[in-house]
Structure 1
Amino acid sequence: MKLALPLLLSFISSSAIAGSFGTYDPRSQAMAGTAVAIGSVGMAAGHNPALLGLFDQDEDKSRNGHYYLPYAVANVSQVAIDSLQLIEDELDIAFDSALDNYNNNPQQDNAAAASIAAQNLENGLTSIANKDFSFSAFIPLIAVSEPSKKGGGGFYLGSRIEGGGRSYVPDEDIELFDDYVEALDNVANGGYWRDVHPELFNADEDYVDFAPPPLNDPYDQIESSADLRGLIINEAAVAGALGYDFDRMRVAVGVTPKAMQVRVFDESREVSKDSLEVENSSKPHLMFNADIGVAIEFDSGVRLAYVGKDLFSRSFTSSTGAIIELNTKHRMGLAYLTPKWEIGMDYDMQVNVPTANEQAGQFLSLGGEYRIFQRYALRAGYRYDTDNQLPAATSIGVGAHWGPVYLNASYLRSAEEQGGGLQLGFAF
């Protein structure tokens, strides 16, 4: 087997759903992506730059500035998790080894062991066969923010990954392993090898039936493949915001100009007769883009907000002719804030257009945070797809700070994905 099919399908890899608004830190992920109105000011350049303009303290006194070390936040499709589990369990290696043992010594015990290994591999392949997957991740190398009195700024340098694809496992491949199980079970039970799937055995016309002959390597007959398309976006973003005081409310507007290097990936992986063949198309594009944000905060604690992300949409064509989209996203947010807790709601104003061929959805998310002794925070959230393409997700997370050190962790789960994030930063 040479790790062929599982290695191929393990390429179904990782995070938020591609084509969606995105998740920019563990705090927002812990609240199911709710961030437009209650996002961390430390990553306002990603969530909503207007949040930087709602403060009424001088930056030299407030210590509301933040610097974050490199971190990652991502969600992983369940198909990817199953694929990685298949690799971790080394089911293909186990079957390959058991088949070699049988071929070198075609005894009943060796046939039984090879049958069990073939069944385990078949079950693993069935769990990931012919399923769509999508993924995204945000990995900043540096992120800095400094809100100030009626204004502020932020900066990050990092990468976003958005994409999707599908695994293709023909019924014939699954049936082939099932045939191997039946043939090996027959030999293990003392049956005559020609009675069950004799075509799987390597025996010519002159073969003498003193013992079962070796089995052919199923690798030669496998036709499974996997396609993967998407974007890797390396970007430098600089956010700025201005705030204005009115009677019983404050209004802030912000913008995040971004210089982006967009790399298209379009890969097709399929099993040949003796190797794993890969077709890859990856071409970098340099472009500029921008996000805009507005936030209105009332003295009652209510906050309204809007964000438009990647305002300049663009289509990219890979060398294979596939169209891959970088799409504009619009999202509204509503929040209620108190000194000890806050709760918010975000809603996508349109169905998200997929980056490749994955399902993207239109999300309504609810999230909240409760602070204990102003040092610790408990967070939870719920995300629902109003377009009914994707299952609901729940999330939890914690935050803590000791002096200037801040730590945030999160976990998100749905029927089709899991995600997590960990972040360490400092206030100044």
Structure 2
Amino acid sequence: MNRLLVMVPREGVDRLRAAGSHGSATFRVSDAENVGYLCAISVKEGLTLPVGMTPRTHFLNSGEARQGGFWYRATADLHVHGMAAGHRQSALTVAYFAEQVRSGFKNPGRSDYIALTYAPNAEIDHPGAGVAEFAAWLVTADGVKPLDVACEPQVVGDAQLVPQWPVDPLAAATVTVVGTGSIGGATVHALADYGVGRLVLVDPDRLLWHNLVRHVSGPAQVGKMKVFALRDDLEKLRPDIHIEPHALDVIRDADKVRPLLARSDLVVCTADGVAPRRVVSHLARRAGLEAVLACVLEDGGIGEILRLRPWPDRGCLVCQRQALTDAGAIDPEPALDAGYGTGTRHRPMTAVGSDLHLVGQLAAKAAVATLLECAGHPDQRLPGDHGLLALRPKPGWPPPFDLARAGELRWLDARPPVSGCPTCEEP
């Protein structure tokens, strides 16, 4: 089995740096996972203070509390020799370990104990050598064995990506997602992972058992409205993001969705059916808002990403579809009213969960790329506005749907508005 991993929460790190030269330590340990964390230490005045592990539901908070441990300030050389001993899977002598801690060393006798050491001069004494500031040990009468240690850093979450990723513009963005089913759920998770700060979720449906084969939420959420299930899941995974759920139907409740779009930077529609997509296209155009529509076509054979931009030379959803049919391509819209898992015996819906999640993640990428392009990041320009992804390609589909191999991705330019379009022309 791997060596015991000793975790030190940020609160514990701060207290050890300011606590003095030595003291007692209590560790809460899970034997099943062979991991524990520092849950209490004594500081300068001898007062024992608790150290919290967040979140409260963390599995180690229910582990066994083991008192009798200690912490010491130590020389950087001790950590250097500890690294070498760890690589050799050997131990240091008790005498050498005692020499390298400043004071308060407790001889283990017959009682082994866990120890933490803090070497404040590790980087000064050994610059660039990667010598850790903290180390963990199992102190026994036969020797002192290095353990694995992990300290919670001061900076976690999206801030770790700075400056490689534009965290601030995305943290300030609001994206509305209409439709939080299989594709929409994956889109929502991906947008959160990209660092979008606020997500407004719109969907009137509940998560039911038949959804589980494709949805990102699990059995514990069955019965909840999908928007609330996603909110609850993401609040555990990404506590830094704000989720605003609305159990609304974009058609029936268009008057309530319209003000949500008015305070959004972009809308993503992953709703099933022709009518919801057309309503989102119309509402987004009227709001002067960019929209990303995502779905699967041809019984799950093709994934489609369609970006609609409220520009004079770019048409709405209806205009884009009209241009395709005028060019002799298939009209994919009618089939969108068939739910996943339905269809005739000869043409069943064969969309697979992971394929739908792939489309959802691509929709999130298109949404984020659009936001960042508008914020002045030229490296996030998309190759086009109409993306087609081969999931289960079949021969005989007319252009531009004639994708040959699974995974093939094709981007096309948007088509201009059709004359007389009630959405594209100003009222």
Relative contact order, CA 8 A, sep 6+: which one is greater? Answer: 1
TM-score range, shorter chain: under 0.3
Q: Which has the larger radius of gyration?
A: 2
Query: Structure 2-normalised TM-score?
Result: 0.23
**Greater helix share, structure number:** 2
Query: Structure 1-normalised TM-score?
Result: 0.23
